Amino acid sequence: MEFDITDLVPGTSQFRDEVRTWLDEHLVGEFAAHRGVGSPTDDTAWEVRTAWERELSAGNWLGLTWPREYGGRGLGLVEEIIFEYEYARAAAPARVNTQALELLGPTLLAFGTDEQKQRFLPKILSVEEMWGQGFSEPGAGSDLASVRTRAAFDGEQWHVDGQKVWTTFGQHADWLYVLCRTDPDATLRHRGLSLLLVDVAQPGVEVRPIENLYRSTEFSECFFSDALTGADMVVGGVGNGWKVVMTTLGMERGSALMPMQLAMQREVMDLVEEAKRSGAVDDALVRQELVDAVIGVQLMRSTNLRIVVDLLRQSGGEPGAATEAAATVSKLFASIHHQRIGELAVDLLGPDAVFAKVHQRAEEARKLFLLSRAETIYGGTSEIQRNIIAERLLGLPR
């Protein structure tokens, strides 16, 4: 049975129908030809997807829960969840400015000054400015407290020096939000950190794309050499960067994984159809792997449903400890299971998926297999997720 959140929240079917109608009317032509293209870490068909995001902006579908004064619609979490499910169900092209819409924007709403909100939020919603995240470094990935990029204040502006890596869509970014060490003498590593907003268009910033296994360049490394930013470009106050960043990272959980379940479900059902087409489904072992894949996405569905219900019950939509724990489990399982789906895909397609661009199904299988390898790393490595589950959910010692 297909999940429909309107069954849980009476009176929301009208909004769901509004979303469906708009998508039916606007997801046409070139946009329809790029259904399902891209992901939060795949910049395929960037120009088409950017145009599509501007179409969404014109329809006022970006920042649904953001205040109206900044260009949002001031709606609730339930409407946002409905939109994300309908968006995933329609297989609309993946949005390009997710770093701003899902991470920086909510962070500014929580910690930004009135001036920062007025300056940046409307241009995010109008798709005028793209953002990238400057957190990870060559020696500080999951252990963000070890960041060494420094920012020194000269009384008028900040001077930033250092390096960031794995910046998603960094080569497309107009601005970066950068975690910097502003107090190198702080006694504890997580203290003395600040989150700065840095304009890319200056001599002190260099962005270099990184080619991945699939030969695409959605990640970049960023170098700062006396890059400058204003005194008013600190989010949440000087020295408060750890709290701000932990809030930002928490936004990568919760409802963010729910549309992924629908996307994976489509991938699995495509594999079922491919197995039927090729006759591989007659193999008992293949059938078992397909059943396991289907069960996996249904487990994701159940976990995500619990997260949705918990979020809707929370006052103001703020996730509690149990919800955060469930989201951590969901992220860990989703990343591992997606890799298994990718492995099954190339097994079913055989040599076509490895050696040659024979047809679209083989190309999609190869892409799924290669790109899913990174999913147990980005967004929090599986090792770190297991530590979080052990310590916070099971109560085991550090």
| Structural contact between residues 207 and 171, judged by C-beta atoms closer than 8 angstroms | yes
Q: List the catalytic residue out of 55, 102, 206, 252.
A: 252
Q: Report the Cα–Cα distance between both ends of the chain, in Å, rounded.
A: 41
Q: HSE (CB half, 13 Å, CA atoms) of 357? A: 2
Round to whole Å and give the CA distance between 257 and 16.
Answer: 19
- Report d(CA 15, CA 76) in Å as an integer: 12
With CA atoms as reference, report the closest residue to 311 among 2, 9, 12.
9
| Residue-wise burial string across 218-255, b where 16 or more C-beta atoms lie within 10 A, e elsewhere | bbbbbbbeebbbeeebbbbebebbbebbeebbbbbbbb
Beta bridge partners of 137: 140
Indicate if 375 belongs to the active site: no
Report CA-CA distances (Å) from 323 to 78, 79, 319, 337: 16, 19, 6, 21
Token pair listed for 181:
């060490």
Closest CA to 205 of 153, 249, 162: 162
Return the active site residues. Answer: 252
